[in-house]
Structure 1
Amino acid sequence: MTVPVFYSISDDFTKYAAVSLHSLVKNANPQTDYTVYFLNQDLSDKHKKDLQDLGAKNVHIKFSHIDDQLVAPIKNRKENYLRGDFFTMSIFYRLFIPELFPEYNKAIYIDSGTIVNDDIAKLYQTDLEDNLFAACTDSSIQYVDKMVKYIKDVLSLDPQKYINSGMLVLNSKAFRDEDFIDHFLNLLEKYHFDCIAPDQDYLNEIGEGRILHLNEKWDAMPNENTKPLSSPSLIHYNLFFKPWHFHGVQYEDYFWKNARETKFYSELKKELDDYTDAQRQEDREKLNKMLEKEDSTIKDPHNWARVKEQGPVTL
């Protein structure tokens, strides 16, 4: 058995992905075989080598170039902006994994800004039954009133069941059998729903009722409102809680412990030291700007909730 794990990255995210990969390899079971794929469009040969060097005898590192034609239907339009701030195609790559890798009936996806503290094969052993995927409730937004309101009133979903897409166990066979990607692309083109987190919102909407919710330890996110988990299996530095930009981030020790064991430590430490208070303030303002999107989307007569009131969201 091979455990397939997927990241999607752009070239400038290599150093964070390298720390995540190092932590994954370090906690991998030496008796288990793993293949880690990096989905990308612009990864340099140098950075490919940097990542490949982090592999092990039983952890194979591979790269898969995302073809422009494959993602051509996803346009650089404001409703597809991540956090309402910028467009990045890489957030959508995870949705194509089942189609691009038909040899796998199940696959794991994790974001680059993560630390793996446990054997990732334990996730792969999840019994998905008839669910489309498994994930964790998005704990980073449960105390953010505007996000809770957005999920309830704009998406017409239960905030307690709204998952974060930074860690997914995909039922790849079900994705293929049910033409998930065609469904997604057709919805994207027909409705142009204005989203705060486009890939995540679509996953929550299409997967509603068929999402297996996992223990929060598999997607622990820094949070200023709750105490840290004592033994997080996977840490996800979501939104603007980046230990390479901010001091005092919850779970930051896990990141720096692993970063020190990679060639990127000095570069990452310098990035933290050089990041200015003005840049940190700008990041906080971006978060506020993201939350302001709730004000406009709730008035949109064509938002998810209004369309769903008229009946099932169809192709």
Structure 2
Amino acid sequence: MTIPVFYSISDDFTKYAAVSLQSLIKKTNPENDYTVYFLNQDLSDKHKKDLAALANDHSNVHVEFFHIDDELVKPIQNRKENYLRADFFTMSIFYRLFIPELFPQYDKAIYIDSDTVLNDDIAKLYDIELGDHLFGACTDASIQYVDKMLKYIRNVLALDPKKYINSGMLLMNSKAFRDKHFIDKFYDLLEKYHFDCIAPDQDYLNEIGDKSILHLDPRWDAMPNENTPEIENPGLIHYNLFFKPWHFTNVQYEDYFWKNAKETKFYEELKAELDNYSDEERQEDRQKLNHMLEKEDYTEKDPNNWAHVKEREIVSL
């Protein structure tokens, strides 16, 4: 059995992706075959070699690189409503949406963000039966105690915050994505409404997938959270938002990251990044979170936000 796993990556994220890949490889079952794809637009040859080298001693793990064509993502463009975290644009957040179309040989696939660490065999995630669901994912635990984000989900998206999923881990029913013309719906909504989003790709997945999402055990997307204790024996840790262990100390689940980082060539570079990250930069990161949440104030009043459009057209998007 081949388990296809996808990352989307920019060149400057290679060292974090290397830690994630190392953790994934360590937990693989020798009886399974794993093909790991890095979707990218700017990955250097040197970094490709660095990532591929991690699988050299594992005959059942294959690392591939797939260049995302500019034409494919041209309709998304660099425009304000697609800005991630309200302050900068990154095309790579959208790559995951195209996996089913770009890889028709797979009826099922896994996508994970690069700021993750595996603590269990990812084949166990892949083995979960999806049935007719579009994809499986975990409720976004990182926002359940953030009042403005809860308000945004209820009043701007008109969704249930308890069912709002995080897109950093997706168990994708690729066949259903193709059969239900997911990309066509995405492009249609994107061009027709220009929705202003706090989390662009994630909001579209929640909207289009609403009522067709299989909610998975939270151990498969365990996120640092100051309001809740660590999940015991997490399967996948996701260092979501700004509080990364390579920028902050005393981050929940940080030991998992550093244990795997030590086994990569990037360990000293990552430690130096933490040591050299200033208190001013940490304060800026905290402000970025507040800046991101400011979108709720004006998107709630937008006559063309998700909630108002759904109410006006009396149809589910």
What range is the shorter-chain TM-score in?
A: over 0.9
Q: Supply the distance in 2 between the matched residues of 1:158 and 1:34 (Cα, whole angstroms).
A: 35
Paired residue type of 1:42? D
| 1:312 alignment partner AA | V
* Alpha-carbon distance between aligned partners in 2 of 1:106 and 1:143, rounded to the nearest angstrom: 33
1:145-182 CA distances to partner (integer Å, 9 max, x unpaired)?
A: 00000000000000000000000000000111111111
2:94 corresponds to which letter in structure 1?
F
Contact 1:132–1:175 under 8 Å retained in 2: yes
Aligned ranges for residues 44-123 of structure 1 at < 5 Å?
Answer: 44-55=44-55, 56-123=58-125
Q: What residue is the counterpart of 1:37 in the other structure?
A: 37
Q: Partner of 2:71: helix, strand, or coil?
A: coil
Unaligned runs of 5+ in 1: none
Match of 1:266 among 251, 256, 268: 268
Secondary structure of residue in 2 paired with 1:70: helix
Matches of residues 1-315 of structure 1 in structure 2 within 5 Å? Answer: 1-55=1-55, 56-310=58-312, 311-312=314-315
CA–CA separation in structure 2 for the residues paired with 1:284 and 1:234: 24
Secondary structure of 1:7's match? strand
Amino acid of the residue matched to residue 5 of structure 2? Answer: V
Please, what is the CA RMSD of the aligned residues? 0.7
Please tell me whether the aligned partners of residues 307 and 313 of structure 1 are also in contact (alpha carbons under 8 angstroms): no
Unpaired runs of 5+ residues, structure 2, are: none
The number of aligned residues is 314
Residue 64 of structure 1 aligns to a residue whose secondary structure is strand
Instruction: Report the Cα offset of residue 15 of structure 1.
Output: 0.2
Q: How does the TM-score come out when normalised to structure 2?
A: 0.98
Question: How far does residue 313 in structure 1 lie from its aligned partner after superposition?
Answer: 5.2
TM-score when normalising by structure 1? 0.99
In the TM superposition, what whole-angstrom CA distance separates every residue of 1:204-241 from its partner, at most 9, and x where no partner exists? 00000000000000000000100111111100000012
**Stretches of 4+ moved more than 4 A in 1?**
none
Percent identity between the two aligned chains: 76
C-alpha contact 1:148 1:159 (8 A) present in aligned 2: yes
Secondary structure of 1:63's counterpart equals strand
